[in-house]
Structure 1
Amino acid sequence: MPHALSCRALALLFLPPLLLLSACDSTPRERQAVAREGLSKLDTVARSAGRSLRRVGSAAARLDSSNRARKSQPLQTSKQVAADQYLLGPYQNQLGALTPATIGSAYAQLLRQTRASRRQWSARDWDYAADTYKRLNAELARVRLDLPARDEVRIRAWQAEFKALQANRSVKELRTLTGSPPANAPAAHR
């Protein structure tokens, strides 16, 4: 069957030029009708794309507005302590005193808990996790010069994973607002 597909592809590739060559055998009215039909199809596609862009733009603006409103509210200290306890476990009380020997384990704990809970987290839960992550990064900056390169590479990979999980949440929120299917969804579900 691959040969049949390539023949079809070639036919589609060479058909428009053949139509142009055969235009000598057509009348100006026929060519105008073909051109009108092509422009009509192009116009329909452009209108559809415009509606999609408006829908996505509107959803992005709503998401941005709700994010700004949520982030303008300060995090509650008691909830941040609870988030730290959950995300960092035994390393919660060591923030400010982590060493090059313990900071890798603190990042590993943070990522383990994030992977386990991320699907149930609200946007506000992500705010608390991001604050914990930010403070852990400050600890890394403090001990980085004494950190072996292999540990720093592993920590950088965990940082990238945390940011990817966070970005995935934002994409899912936007997709929910726009009603768009996931990029890897079968074409029948799009």
Structure 2
Amino acid sequence: MKRATLYLLSVAGLFGGLTACDSTPRERQEAVRQEARRLDTIAEQAASKLRTAGRRAARFDSASRVRTRQPLDRAAETAMTNELLGTYTEVEKLTPSTIEPAFVQFMQQVRARRKEWTQRDWDYATGISRRLNAQFRALRLDIRARDEVHIRALQTEFTALETGRDVKDLGQAVKQP
């Protein structure tokens, strides 16, 4: 049914200046066949491109799952924590008055370094973010409202940056030959 509809739509634009009075039924039939072949070719090419993109996206997703299942290296995690948190490295000891500056420090470093990071670096940053978020939840009832709003904005920014990187990497993986 869809194919017939496509044929009829393509026939309408196919004849341009040619009207039913200027052609024979056989000529119109051949023109419809040629247009149908052209549309089939276009549809097959599009389907092939989608299959290829789907396979590449699946490989990217599979590789991403394998990577995230790998435990983080403790030494590398400690080094990344020192880089991103500076003086706030002992996340579990943060207080209601120091948690907001720790988030600020973290996001300043994320913004400064994110463009050079690999997906594995993002895994480490996400781990640090989770620790900060856990400490935030533990202290939330004692944090000033102004600081809580700022922390939530920083959490949202981190999620947006991380998701943007994932989308960019997925896009590159799909486009790769």
TM-score, structure 2 length as denominator?
Answer: 0.79
Check 1:138–1:36 CA distance in 2 against 1; reply closer, same or farther (3 A cut). Answer: same
Q: Secondary structure at the match of 1:96?
A: helix
2:85, 2:102 within 8 Å by CA — same for their partners in 1?
Answer: yes
The residue correspondences of 1:79-90 to structure 2 (distance < 5 A) are 79-90=76-87
Q: Indicate the residue corresponding to 2:64 in structure 1.
A: 67
Percent identity at matched positions?
47
Once the two structures are TM-superposed, the CA of residue 49 in structure 1 deviates from its matched residue by 1.8
Equivalent AA in structure 1 for residue 51 of structure 2: R
Pair 1:56 & 2:28 matched:
no
Q: Indicate the residue corresponding to 2:5 in structure 1.
A: none
> Alignment length, in residue pairs?
165
Pair 1:171 & 2:171 matched:
no
Q: Indicate the residue corresponding to 2:96 in structure 1.
A: 100
2:53, 2:175 within 8 Å by CA — same for their partners in 1?
Answer: no
Structure 2: gaps spanning 5 or more residues: 1-11
Distance across 1 between alignment mates of 2:38 and 2:151:
52
TM-score, structure 1 length as denominator?
Answer: 0.74
Q: Indicate the residue corresponding to 2:7 in structure 1.
A: none
Counterpart of 1:127 (choices 119, 123, 147) is 123
Q: Secondary structure at the match of 2:93?
A: coil
Distance across 2 between alignment mates of 1:141 and 1:24:
79
Once the two structures are TM-superposed, the CA of residue 129 in structure 1 deviates from its matched residue by 0.6
Q: Secondary structure at the match of 1:101?
A: coil
Check 1:45–1:120 CA distance in 2 against 1; reply closer, same or farther (3 A cut). Answer: same
Q: Indicate the residue corresponding to 1:150 in structure 2.
A: 146
Structure 1: gaps spanning 5 or more residues: 1-14, 181-190
